[in-house]
Amino acid sequence: MDKPVNNRAWFLVLPVLVLVAFSAVIPLMTVVNYSVQDTFGNNQFFWNGLGWFQEVLDSDRIRAALGRQILFSAIILAIEIPLGIFVALNMPKRGFWASVVLVLMALPLLIPWNVVGTIWQVFGRVDIGLLGHTLAAMGFDYNYVNDPVDAWATIVVMDVWHWTSLVALLCYAGLQSIPDAYYQAARIDQASRWAVFRHIELPKMSGVLLIAVLLRFMDSFMIYTEPFVLTGGGPGNATTFLSIDLVKTAIGQFDLGPAAAFSLIYFLVILLISWVFYTVMTAQKDAP
């Protein structure tokens, strides 16, 4: 079919361009702008080339934070994805209890991040917190303020508590969309429980699972508020994740250049890892 060519049609995409420019491109460009300049105040800027990028990449402090960040996201995904699937498989499919469970599952998702941090901060305190005090009373040497392992454990448990229900709810939606005939056919084919999961439930969940993995990866990789409220990045630098470090650089020390370079690298790392997840998880789908 012949389509008429009319260049005035470009005007129709103008509103979107303007919107995206203000919401994303212009703010990002200011960051790019800072990342290649240095300043000594008085609004005087000097060209610094890729110097800040060099500095950020060479910084042991930032490298250590990146390592912690990757470890944290890996732990979070390794726990929340299987756990979420497991919970979804065991949620009631219909009836009164299905609604009750759905509401209960959604509750943690409704709590603001800093409140979650505060809740666990109090909950884990050895002197007055229910968790901390109970653990101490049982003879465990638990103290998230002094002990890096305890601090990590608390943050991981807090994140699992906060976000596993998101994974579970997504998987639950995926499971609900499987017609009964599939389960009936599996019973007739004498498929084992594992085969039903492997060949029916998992493939049907793969779409939502991809979303769950990406969301949980990005969120955990950018985590800030909860550990900031709970441990403030300590003890020492044990729980200083990338965003906490970034905020210290940008706002604490007002080092705009390094912070801008840091932000851009941070952004690219998230983009890269998300792309890898997406490619790996959809590769199987497109195979003949």
Partner 1 sequence: MARITLDALAHSYLPAPRGEDDFALKPMTMTWQDGGAYALLGSSGCGKTTLLNIISGLLVPSRGRVLFGDRDVTTLPTAARNIAQVFQFPVVYDTMTVRDNLAFPLKNRGMPAARIAARVAEVAAMIGMADALDRRARGLTADAKQKISLGRGMVRQDVNAILFDEPLTVIDPHMKWELRTQLKSLHRQFGHTMIYVTHDQTEALTFADQVVVMSEGRVVQAGTPQALFDRPEHTFVGYFIGSPGMNLLDAEVRGDRALIAGAQVALPGDHGLPQGRVQIGIRPEFVTPAEGGRGEEGGGLPFRLERVEDVGHHRILRGRVGDQPLTMLLPEDHALPAGIDRAVPATAHLHVYADDWRVPPVAGERAD
95 binds partner 1 (CB under 8 A): no
Exactly one of 31, 136, 145, 200 binds partner 1 (CB under 8 A); that residue is 200
Q: Pick between residue 3 and residue 193 the one whose CB is nearest to partner 1.
A: 193
Exactly one of 128, 179, 193, 236 binds partner 1 (CB under 8 A); that residue is 179
Task: Quote the least distance from Cβ 197 to partner 1, whole Å.
Answer: 12
Token look-up 């666990």 returns 120
199 binds partner 1 (CB under 8 A): yes
Rounded CA-CA distance 222/72 in Å is 11
Task: Quote the least distance from Cβ 92 to partner 1, whole Å.
Answer: 17
Exactly one of 161, 182, 197, 224 binds partner 1 (CB under 8 A); that residue is 182
Exactly one of 31, 191, 215, 218 binds partner 1 (CB under 8 A); that residue is 191
Q: Which stretch binds partner 1 (CB under 8 A): 13-21, 143-151, 168-176, 185-193?
A: 185-193
- Which residues of the shown chain bind partner 1 in the complex (CB under 8 A)? 179, 181-182, 184-185, 187-192, 195, 199-200, 203-204, 284-285, 287-288
